[in-house]
Structure 1
Amino acid sequence: MSSSNALSACVDIFISPSKTFNGLKDAKGWSWLAFTLIATALVISTYVFYTNADSQFILEEQVAAASIDATIGEQKMIRQSMEQSIDSQVWFAIGGGLFAIIIMNALIAGYYLLVSKQDPDAQHSYGAWYGFGVWTMMPAVISSLGILALVLTASTDQLSMSIFNYASINQLILGLPLGHSLYSLTEAISIFTVWGIALAAIGLKCWTNFSLNKAILFAALPNVIIFGIWAIIALV
């Protein structure tokens, strides 16, 4: 079965992903709606966070994170540098987030195009795979809604930047403190990371003749490589 239109595909991606990816095979322009939803959710959640959070509290948290091994003089320089940009952080965060989505998906689309060559029947273009990648990022919408809920229901304006990683394995399971060698890595891996990999595997299975195991392997491989290298560097 296939999604009948872009709007139904946005619903199906969460409850029946294969219908979305089957519909995408011959659809034109559906991915623009998905990208708009992801971008809009990111912009709103980021803006709401920064306009509700105590900027001085955020500054202190960032200085602490950036100056763990710094001398007193270096700490002062870091603080002065961050103080100059504190009022513009929301726009840097929004711009950086949107830029990351566009660039990361450009890279992953090239990866999908490359691995799809192993299936001679897969004839999708780079543009099609770019759209494919956008749909695998749809869990980001749910992530942004979670951030909004946490910010708007908070009883204080002293909101930590870690709220953006509320579903990370560190916050849900490990509880590693700031400064731990694996802190940043475990904050970067979340249930939404796994969700995105699952969607990519389902999509690859729909778009190619890959076996399920092969689809899972290719879907997970970029993250395994990136996080594997990150872990090695962190532990050395």
Structure 2
Amino acid sequence: MHNVTNPLQACNDIFFRPNGVFNAINEKSNWSWLPFLIVVIMAILPNYLYISVIDISWYQDLVINAQYGQLSPAEMEAQKQNMTRTSMTAFTVIGTFVGLIVINAIVAAYLNIATRGDEDNANGYTDWYGFTWWAGMPIVISALIAVVLLVLSDGGQLNPSIVLPLSLAYWMGTEMTSDWFAFLQSIRLDSFWGIYLTTVGISQWTNFSTKKSAVIAVAPWAIIWTIWAVVILL
């Protein structure tokens, strides 16, 4: 197994040789601040750029029709007046930041509980919380592609799925008004990459087999996607 000596190297190697990275961060708990900053910034950047280049009037109508279609025309107009470019940018930045922290906190709690079956596992909740940011690093690839697409675009009326170009919603051209939009946005190539990294990390940090590690990594996604799809269908 190759030797990982610093967090910058770890952020690079997590994409190519994750076994060594998870072995190293199992001993270097303070390294997780770097992927935390990278993941948060890269998750926010495409959304920030999108709001900056989009035809704001068109986007206001799109969001209102998708989320507030049951309101009266007067109420919809009031909502539109509140949806300035500045307010939507602030909401996007704060929402993404807080959302990532909360979601990773929940995932860390799950991993902490799911790995208690290994009596030799000495990692606690904070260790697994740091772990989640390493497993989330594939979002960097998605974000970079999104930034390129947005920079090369003419702005205007762009499908919101462009901020997640590795999602089924983008590939299928799903409109925001579709009931399946958010669901298909969640099914992304980088999500599966994150599941793979989680599998690798669990197998490195515990005595669990690769198969058991994979089951632990896949289970929450499989459950969420299944329930979500059933709710939409019903």
Normalising by the residue count of structure 2, what TM-score does the alignment of the two structures yield?
A: 0.92
Q: Which one of the candidate residues 205, 222, 225 is aligned to 1:207?
A: 205
Q: CA deviation at 1:104?
A: 0.5
Normalising by the residue count of structure 1, what TM-score does the alignment of the two structures yield?
A: 0.91
| Separation in structure 2 between the aligned mates of residue 19 and residue 143 of structure 1, nearest angstrom | 23
Q: Is it true that 1:140 corresponds to 2:131 in the alignment?
A: no
* Aligned CA distance change for structure 1 residues 112 and 232 (closer, same or farther; 3 Å): same
The aligned counterpart of 1:155 is 154
| Separation in structure 2 between the aligned mates of residue 58 and residue 29 of structure 1, nearest angstrom | 41
The aligned counterpart of 1:195 is 193
AA matched with 1:93: T
> Contact 1:67–1:75 at 8 Å: present in 2 too?
no
| Separation in structure 2 between the aligned mates of residue 213 and residue 97 of structure 1, nearest angstrom | 32
* Aligned CA distance change for structure 1 residues 176 and 90 (closer, same or farther; 3 Å): closer
Q: How does 1:92-171 map to 2 (within 5 A)?
A: 92-171=91-170
AA matched with 2:6: N
CA RMSD, 1 decimal: 1.8
* Aligned CA distance change for structure 1 residues 143 and 113 (closer, same or farther; 3 Å): same
AA matched with 1:64: N
Q: Which runs of 5+ in 1 are unaligned?
A: none
Q: Any idea what SS the aligned residue of 1:4 has?
A: coil
Q: CA deviation at 1:176?
A: 4.7
| Separation in structure 2 between the aligned mates of residue 10 and residue 138 of structure 1, nearest angstrom | 8
| Separation in structure 1 between the aligned mates of residue 177 and residue 79 of structure 2, nearest angstrom | 21
Q: CA deviation at 1:83?
A: 2.6
| Separation in structure 1 between the aligned mates of residue 57 and residue 208 of structure 2, nearest angstrom | 52
AA matched with 2:129: Y
Q: How does 1:1-236 map to 2 (within 5 A)?
A: 1=1, 2-67=3-68, 70=70, 74-87=72-85, 88-172=87-171, 174-236=172-234
The percentage of counterpart residues that share the same residue type is 29
Q: CA deviation at 1:43?
A: 3.2
Q: CA deviation at 1:177?
A: 4.9
AA matched with 1:121: D
Q: Which runs of 5+ in 2 are unaligned?
A: none
| Separation in structure 1 between the aligned mates of residue 7 and residue 149 of structure 2, nearest angstrom | 29
